Amino acid sequence: MKKKRRFGRRVFCVLIVLFMGVIWQSDLLSQEPAEVRSLRKQEILQTDDNYREYYFGLLTEDEKKIYREMLSGIQERQDEFYLTSSNERLISKVYHALLKDHPELFWVHNREEVYTTAYKGTDYCRFSPGYTYTDQEIQEIMAFMEHALEEVKEQITQDMSAYDKVKTVYTYLIDHAEYEASEDDQNIAGIFWKKKAVCAGYARAVQYLLEQLGVPCIYVEGNARDSDEGHAWNIVEINGEQYYVDATNGDQPAFLEGGAVSLEEHKTTIYDYLCPFPQEYEQLYTASDEFPVPECTATDLNFYVLNQACFDTYDEQQIYDFCCMRLENGAAVVRFKFTSQEAFDEACQQWIQEGYVQKVAEYYLKMYGLSTVEYHYGILDNLKTIYFMF
């Protein structure tokens, strides 16, 4: 009987502690600002009609709630607003996911750290995103964005495939922007407003345009292999398959020999980074481990595969016939790639080092009835590609 009485007292004490805990928690909630209590009652929207929100889908339910609260405050351009969490690590993770999902939020500081004001003993905070542009500048930049989108849409036809849309956006951005560091180079304002940006600006612009065209596209950050040098690119979904797209590298024709890169007639889009072979691309860049990204394995939409310009082995006559065919079709740029390093090295040795390209130049002269022609070559070693430009 004594044991039973002692057991009964323990249960009674535990019940008192639990009851006091409920009262304490209830008291804390009642002291929360009305805005916070209202936020806690809001349901979490699971989708956004305009954006894929890939990174949102990787978050927990608690993180998704903060994501929606943060998105709403930033869209309304509030200088400071409440979040229903004071966990800085969670808030930082959500903030990064949000910026990766929403390239249109160009007015937000693209910074690593977040700024919050927490209150001791509470589970909420005030969040300060910080904005880069004035309201007038925001309206001006948005007008440039809309203009660019309309220009792209004018090039889109009803029968265009998703790949054609991706290629159109890729080419448009390369034609309308320059790779150059600036105050706006990390967001789409640099591309559409100032016409110059670095990789982050290009990748966010690709994402913005493709999402508006209904092509699933995500923004990816990472580093060059075996280096701390940062880079940004995209992964697009076409016919259920994932492909890399890197418009930044498509806009850097510095691989041309001599001074050819400065010649207006030799300004060309580098399609090597439009759906490149995954294994080749991954030898160049590694995605950040902050969030997992979709795996890319398909090769069927590689530019060279689609244009029968990809060769598994080296054959001199085959390459010569291919070059002549491209010239007959009016091409001023002849490009081809190899899947093996051995074939690529052999082609470089004969066509570049030993001057076999002269044979193609002679064919060009004969075809157009010319006495002289200036030509240049370019090599992308890491992608095993050779370019001839006439």
pLDDT computed for residue 257 by the predictor: 54
Residue 222 amino acid letter:
G
What average pLDDT does this structure show over 22-29?
A: 46
Percent with pLDDT over 70 in the chain: 87
**Contact 232/199 with Cβ under 8 angstroms?**
yes
CA distance 341 to 290: 33
pLDDT computed for residue 17 by the predictor: 42
Task: Inform me whether the pLDDT recorded for 228 exceeds 90.
Answer: no
374 confidence band (pLDDT: 50, 70, 90): confident
Q: What is the mean pLDDT of the chain?
A: 88
Percent with pLDDT over 90 in the chain: 74
255 confidence band (pLDDT: 50, 70, 90): low
pLDDT tens per residue, range 69-91: 999 999 999 999 999 999 999 99
CA distance 381 to 371: 32
Phi first, then psi, for residue 240 (nearest 5°) are 80, 0
pLDDT computed for residue 112 by the predictor: 64
Looking from the CA of 265 toward its CB, the CA atoms found within 13 Å total: 9
- Among the ranges given (31-40, 259-268, 273-282), the one the predictor scored with the smallest mean pLDDT: 259-268
β-partners of residue 221 are: 232
Phi first, then psi, for residue 380 (nearest 5°) are -110, 95
* Contact partners, residue 200, CB within 8 Å, separation at least 6: 110, 185, 186, 187, 221, 232
pLDDT computed for residue 266 by the predictor: 46
Q: How many residues does the chain have?
A: 390
Tokens at residue 324, please?
Answer: 């002549």
Per-residue b or e along 335-352, where b marks 16 or more CB atoms closer than 10 Å to that residue's CB: bbbbbeeebbebbbeebb
Task: Inform me whether the pLDDT recorded for 20 exceeds 70.
Answer: no
